Amino acid sequence: MSHNTDFAALVGSRICHDLISPVGAIGNGLELIGLTGDAKGPEMEMISDSVNNANARIRLFRVAFGQPSDAQMVGEAEIQSIIQGLAPSSRVSTYWEVEGAVSRSELRLAFLAMMCFDTSMPFGGTVTVTKEGDKWLLLAETEKLRADTALWDPVSKGDIPADLAPAQVQFGLLPQGAGLLERDLSVQITDVSLEVTF
């Protein structure tokens, strides 16, 4: 390994890889318990929902924070599965309108942008993801947008915001990832919408 190795991405990949199996096993165990009919009720439903959400989040984090790869493709069914897994606990409705498999590196940028959107939409809204040729367009719409200019202004210039908190790491990774792919990152903000293209 060279001194340029992205250890943070490797750590992200390792953590997600090690967590996905036990969380999946818990989900399988809950399904088996459900088949016996011995455990039903709101408690089991709450546990099942939490496991499904944790599974979807780990899969999202694995792409967003893990080691990116242009060679690796992610199928549309897998992407939809991650988005649907997050839906029950999210206040944001996501419409993935990109057909077919996409490179993991491009998907990483899309997921990071979606995570940035989420912090700016505390009261919910919709996110639509489209792709035309090589150009991606992500549009967030909400009645009450809370776009922190200290975060979005640097990102719109392709820069990494200063003094990021752990919950804001996606704002640093998005422009960095766009730079690695040699993509121009564009951000448009209105009172009720955010648009990111790359």
Indicate whether 102 and 19 sit together in one domain.
no
114 and 80 co-located in one domain: yes
Residue 6 lies in domain: 1-67
User: What pTM, to 2 d.p., does this model score?
Assistant: 0.84
Q: Are residues 157 and 106 in the same domain?
A: yes
Residues 59 and 86 grouped into a single domain: no
What is the pLDDT at residue 49? Answer: 80
State whether 127 and 194 are in the same domain: yes
Range in 9-13, 41-45, 85-89, 155-159 with the lowest mean pLDDT? 9-13
- Name the β-bridge partners of 155: none
Q: How far apart are CA 72 and CA 49, in angstroms?
A: 30
pLDDT digits (tens, 9 = 90+) for 162-172: 999 999 999 99
Residue 9 has pLDDT above 70, yes or no: no
Do 171 and 116 form a contact (C-beta atoms < 8 A)? yes
Which contacts qualify for 187-190: CB closer than 8 Å, 24 or more apart?
187/152, 187/155, 187/156, 189/145, 189/147, 189/152, 189/156, 190/145
What's the CATH number where 180 sits?
3.30.565.10
